[in-house]
Amino acid sequence: MEFLRKSLLFLSFLSIFASFAGAQTNVLPDSSDVLDTIPYGEQHIVLYKANVWDYVIDPEILARDKAISDTMDIFTERWNNEITFPYQWPDPGPPPDSILIQLVDDERGFVLPHYGMITSGFGWRYGRNHKAIDIDLEKGTPVRAAFDGKVRYSQYNNGGYGNLIIIRHFNGLETYYAHLTTRYVKPNQIVKAGQIIGTGGNTGAHWTGAHLHFECRWWDHAFDPLRIIEFDSLRLKSDSVILTPADFKISQSHKAYVNNGVNGQNSGTAVNYGGNNVTNNKPVETNASASGKVMGNYYYVKKGDTLSAIARRFGTSVAKLCELNGISKNSTLHIGQKIRIK
Ligand SMILES: [Zn+2]
């Protein structure tokens, strides 16, 4: 009888899901409006009377992690729910020296956010500086948190990420989950490794198929997620990792690929990386000492910047930046160049 009741509830859940999946909201009714709770792996799905639902983790575990996180500097310093790169803003720090990161321990594990074909790796791709891996998925596929942590950012990002969730983890890393169709988590919410945080899609990148754009960053500095993940076995290569400055650089081979160019594909923004002289008919006024700074509505280009990175950082688009500055998306950026951002 109990089984039948659960089965019927599950069926009614499925029909609710079918009707209201698109209307799933983060503004949930309070607990007195709970209709039922259905186990789902290590978490639960809670159904509310108002035909909305949510994934939940054991509240005691979440309360404990919340209390722990409240005592940790990492969850208070440079904590910002509105910008994508809180460590670099307003000052860009240099990439860190060698750092040892304890990724997981007995208490806190790792779960691959989604397993599928990797369609684009970390590094230069078609003239873009791609600081992520792209994992193919069907639109609507659940995407999971990689490690335990606290949601730092959950909103639609106009800079190209689309629906974006950023989680800051107890191990010090931040992970980025972009182009999502649905976001199930709110800023400042505690999440556990493996918790479903949203579903995949192609928001902000509607010209391509659905995929998960997954980034790993240490203090805003991106490194190849495959540096730590043994992808096909769905686990980490090791419980800890030592990242060196080389891990935060875009590899030479990828640069060479871009320099050689592939007709019609090398459409990204060229950046003056090494400080070499770049020939350009139109002289650009630069102020190298202001590089990386924000002053009023202006930002001064720093080493390694691209228009798309600047757009993402300030929540705008490449097209908007081009319009504001009278430049094209292929314009060469110069270190210290003054760019209007709004
Ligand atoms: Zn990507």
pLDDT in tens, 142-174: 999 999 999 999 999 999 999 999 999 999 999
Give pLDDT, residue 334: 77
Ligand 1 midpoint to CA 158 (Å): 15
Q: What's the mean pLDDT when you consider all of the chain?
A: 79
Ligand 1 midpoint to CA 317 (Å): 16
Closest CA to 114 of 177, 61, 63, 64: 177
Give pLDDT, residue 2: 44
* Residue 288 clears pLDDT 70, i.e. is over it: yes
ipTM surpassing 0.95, yes or no?
yes
Ligand 1 midpoint to CA 113 (Å): 14
Closest CA to 220 of 93, 57, 310: 93
Ligand 1 midpoint to CA 211 (Å): 8
Task: Please state, in angstroms and as integers, the Cα–Cα distance from residue 54 to each residue in 79, 82, 266, following that order.
Answer: 25, 23, 43
Higher pLDDT, 307 or 128: 307
The CATH 3.10.350.10 portion of the chain extends over 268-340
Ligand 1 midpoint to CA 340 (Å): 26
- For 268-340, which CATH class? alpha beta
- For 63-248, which CATH class? mainly beta
Ligand 1 midpoint to CA 134 (Å): 5
Ligand 1 midpoint to CA 120 (Å): 7
Share of the chain above pLDDT 90, in %: 46
Which residues contact residue 291 at a Cβ distance below 8 angstroms, ignoring those fewer than 6 apart? 92, 300, 301, 302, 303, 335, 336
Q: What is the pLDDT of residues 198-237, one digit of tens each?
A: 999 999 999 899 999 999 999 999 999 999 999 999 999 9
Strands 235-236 and 229-230: antiparallel
At 249, phi and psi to the nearest 5?
-100, 155
Ligand 1 midpoint to CA 210 (Å): 11
The CATH 2.70.70.10 portion of the chain extends over 63-248
Ligand 1 midpoint to CA 179 (Å): 9
Closest CA to 307 of 290, 328, 279: 328
What are the tokens at 10?
């599950």
CA 14 to chain centroid, in Å, comes to: 30
Ligand 1 midpoint to CA 203 (Å): 12
Ligand 1 midpoint to CA 7 (Å): 40
Q: What is the pLDDT of residues 7-45, one digit of tens each?
A: 444 444 443 443 333 334 444 556 677 788 777 766 677
Ligand 1 midpoint to CA 214 (Å): 7
- Sheet with strand 182-183: strands edge to edge: 142-144, 196-199, 182-183
Ligand 1 midpoint to CA 311 (Å): 15
* Residue 137 clears pLDDT 60, i.e. is over it: yes
* Residue 264 clears pLDDT 50, i.e. is over it: no
DSSP string, 256-299: HHHHH--TTT--S--B--S------SS---B-GGGTT-EETTEE
Overall average pLDDT of the 34-58 stretch: 74
Overall average pLDDT of the 311-323 stretch: 84
